[in-house]
């Protein structure tokens, strides 16, 4: 399958990566950074796997299913962690991550 067929999921991956990077940066500026440690860690993991999968799809990776499954797992973990925090940036990130997780699950199947 050519990367043109992945445009929608690539857009979702990119949006999730941007939301995670914004959340990561904003979490570092919160008053109680220690309380945000797991959110920050998962933001980094999620942004990295989304960026990697986006690049891999652009080069027509033969590992679409495997990478999409890993991405879905990480996005879901990040989204669930972000949902625990009432900060606007965390809530927006949670929405982007959970949306991306669903797209990746479809891609993996």
Q: What is the reported pLDDT for 17?
A: 98
Helix ranges, 63-87 (H) = 64-83
Q: Residues 18-73: pLDDT tens digits?
A: 999 999 999 999 888 898 999 999 999 999 999 999 999 999 999 999 999 999 99
What is residue 68's three-state secondary structure? Answer: helix
Q: Beta-carbon neighbour count of residue 97 at 10 Å?
A: 30
Residue of 15, 37, 20, 19 whose CA lies nearest to 28: 37
Q: Residues 52-65: pLDDT tens digits?
A: 999 999 999 999 99
Does the reported pTM lie above 0.85?
yes
What number is the average pLDDT over the span 90-95? 97
Q: What is the reported pLDDT for 5?
A: 78
């Amino acid at each position: 399958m050519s990367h043109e067929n992945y445009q929608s999921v690539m857009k979702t991956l990119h949006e999730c990566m941007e939301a995670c990077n914004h959340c990561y940066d904003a979490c570092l500026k919160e008053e109680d950074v220690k309380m945000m440690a797991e959110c920050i860690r998962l933001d980094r993991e999620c942004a990295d796997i989304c960026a990697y999968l986006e690049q891999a799809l652009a080069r027509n990776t033969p590992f679409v299913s495997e990478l999409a499954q890993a991405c879905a797992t990480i996005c879901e973990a990040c989204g669930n962690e972000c949902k625990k925090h009432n900060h606007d940036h965390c809530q927006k990130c949670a929405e982007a991550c959970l949306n991306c997780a669903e797209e990746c699950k479809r891609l993996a199947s």
